[in-house]
Amino acid sequence: MHLETWAEISLLIFGGLFSLITVALFGAIAFALNKLVTLLGTMTDKLDPLIGKATDAVETVQRVTTNVGAKADAVLIKGEALTDDVSGRVEQTAGVVKSAVIGPLISISSLITGVSKGFAVYAKPISGNGTDARGHAAKKYEKMNNEGE
């Protein structure tokens, strides 16, 4: 056999082996892809109930959060109304105290001051011009009235 024949034979053998290896690799890839699809299908079947449970849990949390938010709003509204009511009552009580207690206390204080001034005038000794304190006070009163005219 000639060298060309051996070259052709070896080329045919290498080409056949390369083709066989390529077909084997494509078969292995197809087999691996088929296994992967089967495995993904199995995992999807296992994950579907878990996804459903997670969705249910999220919906429950959402309902609870909405419920808590509504209750918090109600508490805030009631608290605001209570605060307004209490502050109104405090203002009313302060007004009552002012009119019922402080007003009379001021009047009593003024009365006590007036009485003590009156006693002070009557308690003064006789002045240098021969009149007593009452006469002196009367003269001052007349003098004030005359100045005002």
Q: What's the pLDDT score for residue 22?
A: 95
- pLDDT band of residue 83 (cuts 50, 70, 90) is very high
Q: How confident is the model at residue 65 (pLDDT cuts 50, 70, 90)?
A: very high
Most confident of 19-28, 49-58, 73-82, 121-130: 19-28
Look at residue 60 in the predicted model and tell me its pLDDT.
93
Q: How confident is the model at residue 67 (pLDDT cuts 50, 70, 90)?
A: very high
Cα distance between residue 149 and residue 138, in whole Å: 17
pLDDT of res. 136:
58
Please report, as a single letter, which amino acid is at residue 134. R
- Model confidence at 29, pLDDT cuts 50, 70, 90, reads very high
Which pLDDT tens digit goes with each residue over 107-149? Answer: 888 888 888 887 777 766 555 554 555 555 666 666 666 765 5
Q: What is the pLDDT of residue 116?
A: 84
Domain boundaries in the chain? 3-148
Share of the chain above pLDDT 70, in %: 81
* Three-state helix/strand/coil letters over the chain: CCHHHHHHHHHHHHHHHHHHHHHHHHHHHHHHHHHHHHHHHHHHHHHHHHHHHHHHHHHHHHHHHHHHHHHHHHHHHHHHHHHHHHHHHHHHHHHHHHHHHHHHHHHHHHHHHHHHHHHHHHHCCCCCCCCCHHHHHHHHHHHHHHHHC
